[in-house]
Amino acid sequence: FLLPHSSSPQLDYSSPIYTNANFVRKCISAESCQDDLWGKLVCTNFKVSFITHNSLPRQRFQCTHRLLGEHDIPLACVEQVVTVNDVKGKQKILGSNQKLKFNPTELILYCKDFRIIRFRFDEAGPESAKKVCLAIAHYSHPADPQLLFGFEYVGKRYHGSTGERVNGVDPGGGMQTTLFDCSSDWDREIKRTGASEWRVCTINQGYFISPSLPEFFVVPVSLADQDLKQYACFFYSQRIPLWCWNHSSGSALVRMSNISDLQQQRKVEQRISSAITKSHPLRSDVFKSDLDKNLPNIQDIQAALLKLRQICVIDPFEESEEKWLSSLESSRWMEYVRTFLRHAVEVVYMLESRNVPVILLEKEDRDLSCVISCLVQLMCDPHCRSLHGFQGLIQKEWVMAGHRFLDRCNHLKKNDKEESPVFLLFLDCVWQLWNQYPAAFEFTEVYLTVLGDSMWVPIFSTFLFNCPRQRAENSRDFASSKSIHLGQDQALRFPPVWDWSQQFSLKDQTLFNNPLYVGKIATCVQNGTVKTFTHRRSKKNYSSTLRGLPSALRNGSLGPNDTLARRNSLVLRLRSDLSQVREQQETPSERFIRDFFSRPVDLQGLLLPQLLPSHLSVWKLYFLRWVPEAQIPQGGPITAFHKLSVLTDEIDMLQNQLRQYKGAGGTPNNLHAEHSKMYFKATSTPHQPPAPPEYLSSSFPFSPVGNLCRPGILGSPLSKFLNGAKIWLSTETLANETI
C-alpha cells in the first residue's frame, strides 16, 4: 500500500498498513472540540499517521519533512501508549503483545520528542479502535533490530539523490561529511591536526580484537601492533585507547576504558602513558581525567530528562514563574549541562595552558567520553564548528567509537535501565555554546533541533546501532534472510543522517546555514580593492554578559551570601575587591578562564563558555516548542536572530554584486541578480514597497499546532512573561520594542 502524507507530497516509498480506524478525532484543544480534526488513524511499520482533509494554520516559514507529515509520529518516537475508557473510568498502559479488555474511547501517545497527542474514538467502531491501539503498542516495541523500519527502507526502497543504487543505497559520492569508516579518513585527520607521531591501526579489521571498536583507529607510533593485541585483553570490552584529536602544541586528547585486570593495571597504564608521552614534542607527562568520578552517570542523566519532560510538557504552567524555575532547577538537567561544560573547560585548560596530553578515563569509554571529547574539540578547533566538521566529529566520536545508540535511545524498548539521553545532553551543551557565540558556528539552532529529532526516524545508521560491528552483522543477516544481493562490502549500506536530502528539500536545508557565521577568512571590498581579514571581536564590550569569572563565583556558582542581580550591576559590585579575592582564592585554571574573558574573543580560535547559571538557559526551541504557552508572539530572540540574518544576507549579496561590478567593468544593474542564501528573507527590491515585518514564534521553523493537546493557561505570571511583558533582557527587549 502507498500511504500518502496528510500535509506533504507523496513519497516514492511504501509502508504496509497494519490497521486503521475511521472517524477518529484528533484533539487540538482541551477546552472544547471546535478546533479538533477528524480523519483516519493509521498504523504502518514506520509510523502512526493521521490522515485528514482539514488544514491547520501554518507558519509562513515552516520546514516540510519528506518522510513525515504534520500529523505523523515515527513508531520509534512513541514512548508510551495509554488507552482510556472514560465511561468505565478505566486506563491502561499498553505494551507489546498485550490484551485490551475494554473498548477504548481515547488514545494518548506520549512521545520522546516531548509531544503528547490525543485521539478520540467517539464515532469510530469499537473493534477498529481497539485494533489500532493494540497495533501501535505492538509495533512500537519491536523485539529485534531487524524489525526496525530502517532495514526494510534500506533493503528495498532507499534511492540516493544521484539515482545510482547499491543494495538500495546511494554510494555516497556526493556527500562531503567524513564517515571515518576507512583508513584514508583517519589519515587525513592525522594530517589535518598535525599528529605526526600517531598512525592508523588496522588490527581490528573484521572486529578481530574488539567487538565495539571500529576497524580503523589511531594509536601512538611507538606502540607496535603486537603490543596492542597483547594489551587488548586487559581492557573492558577489549577497547584499546583511542586517539581523538591533537592540539596545535602537540598535546593529544585520548579516550580509554578502564583496565579490568587489576594485576596488570600498573604495567599497562605505564606503557600506554609512556607511548603517549613519546608522541608529544616536549615529552610532557600525561594527565588522566576520570569521568566516572567527576560526571553524572547515565541513570542520573535519564532521571533528569524525565523530570524535565514532566515540567516542560506534562505539568501545566499553572504555578508562578518562580515555582516553575525552581522545578527546572530541581530536575538537575541544567546542572548537568553546566557540569559537562565545566569539565570540558578543565580539559581544555590542560591542553591549551599546561600543554600536556590528556586521557579521558571511563569504565567502558562509550558514553561520557563521547560528550567531553566532542566539547573539547568544539572549543579548541574551529573546523569542528563548521557544518561538515561537526558532522564528522559526531561520526568519529559517537558512531564509530561505539556509542550505544540502540540501547540509549531504547529503540527496542527492552531495557529501560540502559536508556539515557546522553546524545541529547551533548546537543544541549553545544546549543549553550552556540547561544553564547552564534557567529562562531556555521550551523543554526534549527539544525541542532532537527538533528535531535532525527534519532527517532530509525532509518539512518547514525542512530540505529550500538557499534559498527552490530550494523555489519545485522545487515548481513537481514540481506541473507531477504535474499538481497550484496556488493563488495558484503553488507547493506545504511544511509547516514548526514544525507539530509532524505528528510528535507534543498530549500529547507538552507535553514541549517548560519548567515552570521564568521569563517576563517572573510573578504571585504574597500575603495575598489578586495581585502582579506580575520574577524575579531572589538576590545570594547557592548554586551551585558559578565565577561570576567571572579573566584567568588568559582565553578559558576554563587556563594552562600550572594544574590544574582542584573549582570551589569554584578560587575560593578565585584570590581572593587576583585584583585584581593583573586590573590587569595584563584586557582591556575580559574586564572586561565579569567585571562580568556579579559581578551577580545577570536571566533575562529579558542572558545570557552560562560558557566554562571545566568548564562545558561533552557533550549526552548527543542524542549518547549510543543507548549502553546511558551510561544512568543511578535518577537523574542528568534525574531531578533531572523532580522540580523536578513541584514547579514543583504550585506553579503551587495558585496558580491560590488565585486562583480569591479571585475566586469560595468554597473551592478547590468549584472545578474545575486541569489539569497536565505529563502526565509524578505524579497523586496528598491522598486517595491517595503515588506511587512516578519514575526517568528519561538517554535520557528516548526509548528506546534495540532501536535499537542494541553490546557490553555491564560493570565499566569509565566504566560504573561512569555507574551510580551516588558521584562526581557538584551536581544529580547530590543526585538519586542523595535517591532
| DSSP assignment of 612-630 | SGGG----HHHHSTT-GGG
**Count of structural domains, the chain:** 2
Residue scoring higher pLDDT (721 or 116): 116
Q: Is residue 55 in a domain?
A: yes
Does residue 124 sit in the same domain as residue 203?
A: no
* Residues 338 and 314 sit within 8 Å (Cβ to Cβ): no
Q: Which pLDDT score, from 0 to 100, does residue 671 have? A: 47
pLDDT surpassing 80 at residue 413 = yes
The mean predicted confidence, pLDDT, of the chain is: 80
Does residue 137 sit in the same domain as residue 206?
A: no
b/e 391-420 (16+ beta carbons within 10 angstroms → b):
bbbbbbbbbbbbbbbbbbbbbbbeeeebbb
Q: Which pLDDT score, from 0 to 100, does residue 645 have? A: 85
Residue scoring higher pLDDT (716 or 594): 594
* Cβ neighbours, 10 Å, residue 468: 24
Does residue 383 sit in the same domain as residue 502?
A: yes
Does residue 243 sit in the same domain as residue 392?
A: yes
- Pairwise CA distance, residues 569 & 581, whole Å: 18
How far is the CA of 571 from the CAs of 72, 294, 594, in angstroms?
Answer: 49, 30, 13
Domain-ending residue, one of 503, 525, 547: 525
Does residue 407 sit in the same domain as residue 509?
A: yes
Q: Which domain covers residue 496, as residue numbers?
A: 183-525
* Cβ neighbours, 10 Å, residue 528: 8
CATH number at residue 27: 2.30.29.30
- Pairwise CA distance, residues 617 & 429, whole Å: 11
Domain-ending residue, one of 125, 143, 161: 143
Q: Is residue 452 in a domain?
A: yes
Query: Considering only CA atoms, which of 622, 623, 629, 632 is closest in space to residue 30?
Result: 629
Q: Is cis: bond before 701, omega within 30 of 0? A: yes
Q: Is residue 400 in a domain?
A: yes
Q: Which of 109-123, 471-485, 633-647 is the most confident on average? A: 109-123
Q: Is residue 557 in a domain?
A: no
**Segment 464-512, tens digit of pLDDT:** 999 999 999 998 888 888 887 776 666 777 889 999 999 999 989 999 9
Does residue 138 sit in the same domain as residue 219?
A: no
Task: Check the annotation: does 474 bind a ligand.
Answer: no
Q: Is residue 658 in a domain?
A: no
C-alpha cell at 331: 530536575
Task: Check the annotation: does 204 bind a ligand.
Answer: no
Q: Which pLDDT score, from 0 to 100, does residue 58 have? A: 66
Does residue 212 sit in the same domain as residue 306?
A: yes
Q: How much is the average pLDDT of 321-336?
A: 90
Q: Which pLDDT score, from 0 to 100, does residue 438 have? A: 94
Helix (H) or strand (E) holding 73: strand 72-74
Q: How much is the average pLDDT of 41-69?
A: 85
Q: Which of 140-154, 164-178, 437-451, 677-691 is the most confident on average? A: 437-451
pLDDT surpassing 60 at residue 289 = yes
Q: Which pLDDT score, from 0 to 100, does residue 136 have? A: 95
Does residue 324 sit in the same domain as residue 223?
A: yes
How far is the CA of 641 from the CAs of 168, 445, 632, 648, in angstroms?
Answer: 40, 10, 14, 10
- Pairwise CA distance, residues 90 & 562, whole Å: 51
Q: Looking at 457-566, list the stretches that DSSP marks H as alpha helix, in order from N- to C-terminal side.
A: 468-481, 506-509
Q: Which pLDDT score, from 0 to 100, does residue 223 have? A: 95
Q: How much is the average pLDDT of 654-672?
A: 70
Listing from the earlier edge strand, what are the strands of the sheet with 78-85? 72-74, 47-51, 37-44, 17-26, 116-120, 106-111, 78-85, 90-94
Q: Is residue 650 in a domain?
A: no
Q: Is residue 425 in a domain?
A: yes
Catalogue the long-range contacts made by 124-127 (C-beta closer than 8 Å, 24 or more residues apart). 124/21, 124/22, 124/23, 124/24, 124/41, 125/21, 125/22, 125/23, 127/103
Q: How much is the average pLDDT of 200-204?
A: 97
Does residue 60 sit in the same domain as residue 191?
A: no
- Pairwise CA distance, residues 594 & 549, whole Å: 5
Does residue 208 sit in the same domain as residue 289?
A: yes
Which residues in 150-281 belong to E strands, given as ranges? Answer: 198-201, 217-220, 242-246, 252-257
pLDDT surpassing 50 at residue 548 = no
Does residue 497 sit in the same domain as residue 423?
A: yes
C-alpha cell at 222: 611507538
Q: Is residue 318 in a domain?
A: yes
Does residue 88 sit in the same domain as residue 189?
A: no
pLDDT surpassing 50 at residue 574 = no
Catalogue the long-range contacts made by 416-423 (C-beta closer than 8 Å, 24 or more residues apart). 417/299, 418/298, 419/302, 420/298, 420/299, 420/301, 420/302, 420/367, 421/301, 421/302, 421/305, 422/298, 422/301, 422/367, 422/368, 422/370, 422/371, 423/370, 423/398, 423/452, 423/455, 423/463
Residue scoring higher pLDDT (194 or 641): 194
pLDDT surpassing 90 at residue 558 = no
**Segment 219-248, tens digit of pLDDT:** 999 999 999 999 999 999 999 999 999 999
- Pairwise CA distance, residues 711 & 29, whole Å: 7
DSSP state of 204: T
